[in-house]
Structure 1
């Protein structure tokens, strides 16, 4: 077998082999980190080449706390992403979310069951869409809180969020939309098996919520800021997503249903019809107003598509 005289970046990382060379030597730096990450994700050789050739690598740290809110570990992590560049040096980082299965706990009366949902890989914006990003795409800023362009845009209706996705799609030639409820909750968990992404509890040093009076577990009470904060201020999830806990609640694509019996098992949005005219739509997460027990990913509810509040924003998704 001949050796290419000038191996490209992918060949250097993957060894030019098929399948992915599990025991091949790992390069240092970014190249080595990319090789290790695609191996950990158990990707096909084609998917590995696509990520390595066309994506950047985000390096970040995640933390784990005990039930008293004390940091017990800090771990370096990597995640693939690409950047969607907008005008005026504004950009949106889109994080790669790996495929996997996720169990949704369903309750109806006294009946409880697990609804297993299989999620295909997708991309989710690293943080809620900010005022600057919204302004760059839509040409306006509807937010109640003024100033600080890196804060999440809020006071947006579901229809505003859909309009943003459609305009962003037209600008970029890619298909952007809101995440489904299943995609959002799957990303919220980010591969963890603890109540909160950072462990057994959370503190107001790790998220923007109302921690002044109540606790999640045994952590000390914290502060209540009463407003949004710049995205990225607090530590991310293990998949490199910021502000999944607190700051603003986030619109999802799904329409509201009375029960979860027929919820799609493929992670797609659950809609009554093919258009976007449903009256009630889902939003997930919690905001700067919420108490600690609301920080669970299962905290999803609904309002009408035309409602707007100072603690509801959104992030964008791409399949």
Structure 2
């Protein structure tokens, strides 16, 4: 058991957005045991930041995007959203709260997911469907075959990591700011997002964490997946981050 410093953002009525303070630190990003795009392993220094305690839910998404008040599926993660949709959500959330919310960088995401671990998952080197919502028909590293739920589950029903974050493995893929690169050669070491060609609006964008319909191997802390920014698929959602300096985070002219 550990404690985490939290921030609760009101989204109107009883609907809130819970964020956890991720402490600053340095970690080794990547995994030499698997894909080339997870290499070379390299040290990254991460300043502290706030990150959503859970993936953004359907209720939170609809409330921010169009003011809807959902009466069902309140705690299920939003799915079938593109990178452009995710960025638009961050823009509207920032306008609503007068704070500058954004998607995490890949480095922020992996650092937050690992929470001080260097194993395949923040649980260790295996997972089971009792710990993560993924396709249990395809286990990893000697774990037993288990349940394949075949659908999303409410956020927060599985154990969190040491930083107090839930559903970082499985559940839904989470969009990051970064453009996809085939390796970490030349990647930033300060935790910022990496977009090699910022003039190319169609560069593939990175997703992290795996999903409810994905294999265990693909839910590891270091796994990287990518899609064109306009693509919408099931099992793909988002999580937001916020700068710890609220004065810096407030949008100019709004407070």
Q: 2:16 maps to which residue?
A: 91
CA contact (8 A) 2:120 2:222 kept: no
Residue 115 of structure 2, aligned match among 190, 197, 207: 190
CA contact (8 A) 1:165 1:177 kept: yes
Map 1:252-271 → 2, pairs under 5 A? 252-271=176-195
Q: Does 1:231 align with 2:155?
A: yes
Distance (whole Å) between structure 2 residues aligned to residue 272 and residue 293 of structure 1:
28
How many residues were matched structurally?
A: 237
Q: Does 1:210 align with 2:108?
A: no
Q: Does 1:315 align with 2:242?
A: no
Distance (whole Å) between structure 2 residues aligned to residue 219 and residue 258 of structure 1:
29
Q: CA deviation at 1:116?
A: 0.9
Q: 1:64 maps to which residue?
A: none
CA contact (8 A) 1:134 1:140 kept: no
**Secondary structure of residue in 1 paired with 2:2:** strand
- CA offsets per residue over residues 248-298 of structure 1, 9 Å max, x none? 011000012233211111010011355793431111111011112222111
Q: 1:314 to 1:229 in 2, by over 3 A?
A: same
Calculate the TM-score normalised by the size of structure 1. Answer: 0.70
Residue 134 of structure 1, aligned match among 41, 48, 61: 61
In structure 2, stretches of 5+ residues that fail to align are 244-255
User: CA RMSD for the aligned pairs?
Assistant: 2.1
Q: CA deviation at 1:200?
A: 3.3
CA contact (8 A) 1:131 1:151 kept: yes
Q: 1:164 maps to which residue?
A: 89
**Secondary structure of residue in 2 paired with 1:77:** coil
Q: 1:106 to 1:298 in 2, by over 3 A?
A: closer
Map 1:96-107 → 2, pairs under 5 A? 96-105=21-30
Q: 1:210 to 1:140 in 2, by over 3 A?
A: farther
Distance (whole Å) between structure 1 residues aligned to residue 184 and residue 141 of structure 2:
29
CA contact (8 A) 1:81 1:94 kept: yes
Residue 172 of structure 2, aligned match among 233, 236, 248: 248
- CA offsets per residue over residues 17-69 of structure 1, 9 Å max, x none? xxxxxxxxxxxxxxxxxxxxxxxxxxxxxxxxxxxxxxxxxxxxxxxxxxxxx
Q: 1:292 maps to which residue?
A: 216
Q: 1:315 to 1:113 in 2, by over 3 A?
A: closer
Higher strand share: 1
Higher Cα Rg, which structure: 1
Distance (whole Å) between structure 1 residues aligned to residue 192 and residue 83 of structure 2:
17
Q: 1:134 to 1:275 in 2, by over 3 A?
A: farther
Q: 1:279 maps to which residue?
A: 203
**Secondary structure of residue in 1 paired with 2:119:** coil
Q: 1:70 maps to which residue?
A: none
**Secondary structure of residue in 2 paired with 1:245:** coil
Distance (whole Å) between structure 2 residues aligned to residue 220 and residue 303 of structure 1:
30
CA contact (8 A) 1:226 1:288 kept: yes
Q: CA deviation at 1:106?
A: 6.8
Calculate the TM-score normalised by the size of structure 2. Answer: 0.87
